[in-house]
Amino acid sequence: MQPMRFHSHHGQNIHISDDGNTATRTCSYAHGLCFGDRPLNQREIFLVEILSNQKGWSGHLRIGLTQHNPNTRFKLPQYALPDFITSLGKSWIMAITKTHKYIFRDDDLPDMDQEPGNPPRQSILGDGELIRTSCGTLKRSLLTLSKQSATATNQDSQLLPTDLGSRIGMMFTKNGKKGDLYIIVNGEEYGPVAKNIPLHDGPLWPVLDVYGTTKQIQIVQLTTSETLQTLCRDVITQQLSTQVFIEELPLPTRMKNFLKFDS
């Protein structure tokens, strides 16, 4: 799968560098919109790391999806929120803040985990160290603060979502004919923060606003070169609902362990 880069159509204060991997807001606090250079695939994680902040402003990174194609070079609003949604529509964008309630979500979106009678929602990322995505199997550690950033910023495990080194991502899943958007912050998923996204209306492009105190972000490439062995494992495990069925397969123990990601 083609690695994601930042699109050449972006806000007037954005500079793209590092072969399209880094977006920097060069002045002010606004006009910092940028896009992915291709649509996001279902169950593909788009992830960025905060490389630089700038004091003196309020607000932080915004991230989400839009069905407006940046290839058309349409006129960009000054801000992602609320301008992008109210003026252009067909966009689902969230604001990241310092607090634990940092996902800006629709007021009418129910908190499924709190409604009595509903079973606990299963994580779309799973509970193990390995995460299955449309780009292959990834290590959960890739979604968290890098060791280099931890050393440079002297941060501990209580890293705030807006701190240097924080990794912010998103993924959408298909729910019938509609889509659900999830935000991923330092390895933890939140959502769905947007539901009933009309998937048949057009592709979904990553859109970000390098806004306020957030000054520079970099795409964390999660695409992997899968071996034939791991590709076969993904195909087999996708046909099995639980690991219990793996034990019932007429296979050697070593192969069963490989299917269960134990080797």
pLDDT of residue 159 exceeding 90, the answer is no
* SS3 category, 174: strand
Ramachandran bin of 49, using left for φ above 0, alpha for ψ from -120 to 50, beta for the remaining angles = beta
pLDDT band (50, 70, 90) for residue 7:
very high
pLDDT at 175: 85
Residues 242 and 245: their CA atoms lie apart, in Å, by 6
* SS3 category, 52: strand
pLDDT of residue 246 exceeding 50, the answer is yes
* SS3 category, 150: helix
- For the stretch 25-66, pLDDT in tens is 999 999 999 999 999 999 999 999 999 999 999 999 999 999
Domain limits, the chain: 14-224, 226-263
Residues 28 and 11: their CA atoms lie apart, in Å, by 12
Which one, of 58, 66, 69, 102, lies nearest residue 193 by Cα? 102
- Name residue 39's amino acid: P
- The CATH classification number of 14-224 equals 2.60.120.920
Residues 19 and 6: their CA atoms lie apart, in Å, by 9
Task: Return the percent helix, strand and coil in the chain, to nearest 5.
Answer: 20, 30, 50
Lowest mean pLDDT among 41-50, 69-78, 167-176, 236-245: 236-245
Distances (CA, A) of 87 to 76, 79, 169: 10, 11, 25
- Name residue 91's amino acid: S
Distance of CA 97 to the CA centre of its chain: 16
pLDDT of residue 261 exceeding 60, the answer is no
Lowest mean pLDDT among 55-64, 150-159, 186-195, 218-227: 150-159
- For the stretch 184-202, pLDDT in tens is 999 889 989 999 999 988 9
- Highest mean pLDDT (candidates 25-29, 124-128, 139-143, 249-253): 25-29
Q: What is the largest CA-CA distance in the chain?
A: 63
Owner of token pair 């979904």: 204
pLDDT at 165: 93
CB 84 within 8 A of CB 93: yes
Percent pLDDT > 90 in the chain is 51
Q: How large is the average pLDDT for residues 101-105?
A: 47
pLDDT band (50, 70, 90) for residue 109:
very low
pLDDT at 138: 78
pLDDT at 107: 39
